[in-house]
């Protein structure tokens, strides 16, 4: 027999599993939570771009172009910062939209 407590426990287990499934990749996701395959693909692409910036910065520094290397390193640092700002912006819009709903909903 399915009881309410079993359903609550199953839901809690599911939420815990889905929340930690893409924990490391959520750093590069522009969305607050990774829920779809599209979010996973976008996060992987941003992570690959970050790795490309890190590798190219190292290679240009090795070839003795410190200014170009510093520019690429700054771009690599700005990438996660911009993604974090994007996540925060989406969360605030979501909160504002939720506050506009009537209390009966």
Going residue by residue through the chain, which has 105 residues, state the pLDDT in tens, using 9 for 90 and above: 678 888 888 888 777 666 666 777 888 888 887 878 898 899 999 999 999 999 999 999 999 999 999 999 999 999 999 999 999 999 899 888 888 877 665
Determine the pLDDT at residue 41: 92
**Per-residue confidence (pLDDT) for residue 19, from 0 to 100:** 61
Asked, for residue 82, whether it belongs to a domain, the answer is yes
Confirm whether 30 is domain-assigned: yes
Identify whether 70 is part of a domain: yes
Q: For position 21, what pLDDT does the model report? A: 66
If you search the block for the tokens 């290679």, which residue do you land on?
Answer: 59
43: domain range? 4-100
105: in domain: no
Residue 18: what pLDDT?
Answer: 63
29 domain-assigned = yes
Domain count across the chain: 1
Work out the burial of residue 28: count CB atoms within 10 Å of its CB; fewer than 13 is exposed, 13-18 middle, 19 or more buried.
Answer: buried
Residue at 51 is within a domain: yes
């Amino acid at each position: 027999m399915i009881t309410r407590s079993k359903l609550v426990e199953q839901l809690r287990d599911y939420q815990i599993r889905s929340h930690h499934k893409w924990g490391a990749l959520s750093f590069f996701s522009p969305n607050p939570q990774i829920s779809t395959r599209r979010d996973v693909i976008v996060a992987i692409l941003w992570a690959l771009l970050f790795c490309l910036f890190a590798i190219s910065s190292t290679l240009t520094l090795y070839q003795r172009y410190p200014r170009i290397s510093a520019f690429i390193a700054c771009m690599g640092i700005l990438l996660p910062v911009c993604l974090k700002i994007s996540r925060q912006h989406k969360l605030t819009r979501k909160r504002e939209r939720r506050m506009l709903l009537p209390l009966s909903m």
